[in-house]
A and B are shown apart, each in its own frame.
Chain A
Amino acid sequence: MSTHHDIAVIGAGPAGGNAALVAARAGLDVVLLDEQPVPGGQVWRGKSPSIHSAPQTPESQSGDALRQALTESAVEQLTDARVWDIRRQDDRWALQVLRNGESHEVAASALILATGAREYVQPVPGWTTPGVIGLAGATALFKQSLTLPGTRTVVSGTGPLVFYVASEIRRLGGEVAAVVTPNTRGEWARALPAMAGQPRLLGRGALWVADLMLARVPILWGHAISEVFGGNSVTGVRARRLGENDPGQEFSADSVCVGHGLIPQIEAAQMLGVHILHDPALGGWVPEVQPDGATRVDGLYLTGDGCGIRGATAAALQGVLTGARVARDMGKSTHMPSLRPWRRAAKFGRAMTALSQPRASVAALTTDETIVCRCESLRRADILAEIAIGAQSTNAVKSGRRAGMGPCGGKYCQTAIAALIAAQTGKPLSEIAPPTPRPPLRPVPLSQAAGDFDYDDLPIPKPAPL
């Protein structure tokens, strides 16, 4: 059973949503798939049905506009839809889609991957304690449920997200115990020229910081959390000045939001044969792709933060570019928009991403006893031991120690492990590729993947030679 479309778009965030809209307006039959209940992606994530009404935010307004445009468009929306496998099948893409507890196939002539980003969190002692969530995870809680991570929260990490999260906690009536950021005021000052092109975003950021200062929330610049305390839940943290022998200061808290930058989600593109490159200024490993989303793989396009972290504004503009490119490639006479607005927005996004580039002083906070691979409870010492006996690649560490074989598939350990391999072997990070991605793209219940089965339909092969 399979339904066929001109274009399938995976990911209904700013990039995927806009790509779908543009392609549909050009007259193409577009299906838009997303694992969330409504379009919006992470940055414009929609509210759950538990929220009957709430004050608007810039993110909710942008999201509502996208959702409304999609509703009014001819785009077929498949929400709560998990794509677990993608294959080229003759002249079409075949997507295995899990929805309502069943797997079915969606086929399309062209495929746009708008898979967005996930977050990197530098492992520190205690980071697996319940109550520690990612900065991006916190924004999901805010946007979807308007729920606070706790009653008193330490917010820590790099880039603008740390201030956004702290500000949202205050907006939702919570208490911020402290803001801890590895970035210095000097780093922010140096980012200013690149930010000048987006005065609205710059203004919002300035307001968040000013509000925190007025509320006398401690802001620790050039600091990071070095330890999280607690057992069944967080009781507090220690924050230390980076690069100095600082004993640090403790803050009591029942929750921690922490993140060290976003990472493009490239696994689906990799599986489909897209070559990857290492670009720290775009979040690490990025697929080889044109600004308009075209790749060397026939019928495959990539758009948004999955191509490199440039932020929501750039993602939305790139989605428009990609939608137009696909439409043109499929024979529609479409106006190709200028690249200039995207480049301008991308400049801002890159400057923000640069604030989250890996730094040795943060990596040094991972101690030998710190769990690096959460799924398999592997400590840094375990990883180092594997490297010491000859594992020189993330695949070798995965094979030898199961780091990346757990349910998350290595999404939350491979970056730290690659950095450890690089540090131990002296090789540059650009030579330590991520482990080979494997389907399914998300864990799939076996019965749902298997689907209906009639034993008599088994294709019995010729017996193996005796």
Chain B
Amino acid sequence: MIRLVPNHAPAIRRSEKVHFTFDGQSYEGHVGESLVSALTRAGHLSLRGAPVDGAPRGAFCCMGLCQECAVIVDGQVVEACRTDVSADLVVERVR
């Protein structure tokens, strides 16, 4: 099939893969990519329950505004879209 927009995926070189955990489960991510990027690639989209009704929510604006991707790292609520993957990072759900 003719493509006017080429497929660049094979030409992308990424950093090494490391393991991190989210909500007790192990995931793989590339060092330095955002948690949202790594978890999205892993197909794990639900990052927390909505504060009022507990309904599943995930990354939405991906630019640090909407706060839907709030997770906990080192006891502090952070935005998963602005937090980088590193080896053995422990990420928890906001309760």
Which A residues fall within an 8 A CB radius of B? Answer: 35, 42, 48-55, 118-119, 128-134, 136-138, 140-141, 144-150, 167, 170-173, 207-208, 210-211, 214-215, 231-234, 254-255, 374-377, 406-408, 411-412, 442-443, 445
Contact = CB atoms under 8 A, between A and B. Distances in A.
Contacts of B68: 374, 408
A128 B61 CA distance: 11
B8 interface: yes
A264 B26 CA distance: 39
Contacts of A132: 58, 60
A54 B13 contact: yes
Given A137-B62, A173-B8, A50 B45 contact: no
Contact of A375 (B36, B56, B61, B67): B67
Contacts of A131: 45, 58
A211 B58 contact: no
Contacts of A119: 61
B47 interface: yes
Given A55-B11, A214-B3, 9 more contacts: A51-B15, A128-B57, A131-B45, A133-B58, A137-B62, A137-B63, A148-B41, A173-B7, A374-B68
Q: What 6 A-B pairs have minimum CB-CB distances, sorted nearest first?
A: A130-B58, A173-B9, A137-B62, A49-B32, A130-B45, A407-B67
B38 to A, nearest CB: 8
Nearest to B62: A137
Given A172-B9, A207-B4, A147 B40 contact: yes
B24 to A, nearest CB: 16
B75 to A, nearest CB: 10
Contacts of A234: 45
Nearest to B30: A50
Interface string B1-17: 11111111111111100
Query: Majority SS of interface residues in chain B?
Result: loop
Contact of B33 (A50, A172, A232): A50
Contacts of A53: 11-13
Contacts of B56: 129-130, 231-233
Interface in B12-30: 12-15, 29-30
Interface in B76-94: 76-77, 81-82, 84-85
A408 B66 contact: yes
B62 A140 contact: yes
B45 to A, nearest CB: 4
Nearest to A57: B8
B71 interface: no
Interface string B37-69: 100110101110011110111111111111110
Given A118-B65, A141-B62, A408-B67, A214 B4 contact: yes
B40 A150 contact: yes
A338 B34 CA distance: 41
B51 A133 contact: no
Contacts of A55: 6, 8, 11-12
A336 to B, nearest CB: 33
Which of the listed residues B9, B10, B43 has the most CB atoms from chain A within 10 Å of its own CB?
Answer: B9
Contacts of A133: 58-62
Given A54-B12, A144-B34, A145-B33, A130 B47 contact: yes
Contact of A208 (B5, B29, B57, B58): B5
Contacts of A374: 50, 57, 60, 66, 68
B5 A233 contact: no
B76 to A, nearest CB: 6
B50 A147 contact: no
A54 B5 contact: no
A445 B77 contact: yes
Contacts of B57: 128, 130, 374
Contact of B4 (A148, A210, A232): A210
Given A119-B61, A411-B66, A171 B6 contact: yes
Given A131-B58, A145-B34, A374-B50, A54 B8 contact: yes
A254 B47 CA distance: 16
B40 A149 contact: yes
B5 A167 contact: yes
A211 B59 contact: no
Given A137-B63, A210-B4, A445-B77, A130 B46 contact: yes
B5 A211 contact: yes
A150 B11 CA distance: 19
Contacts of B51: 375-377, 406
Contacts of A141: 36-37, 40, 62
B51 to A, nearest CB: 7
A443 B67 contact: yes
A53 B10 CA distance: 11
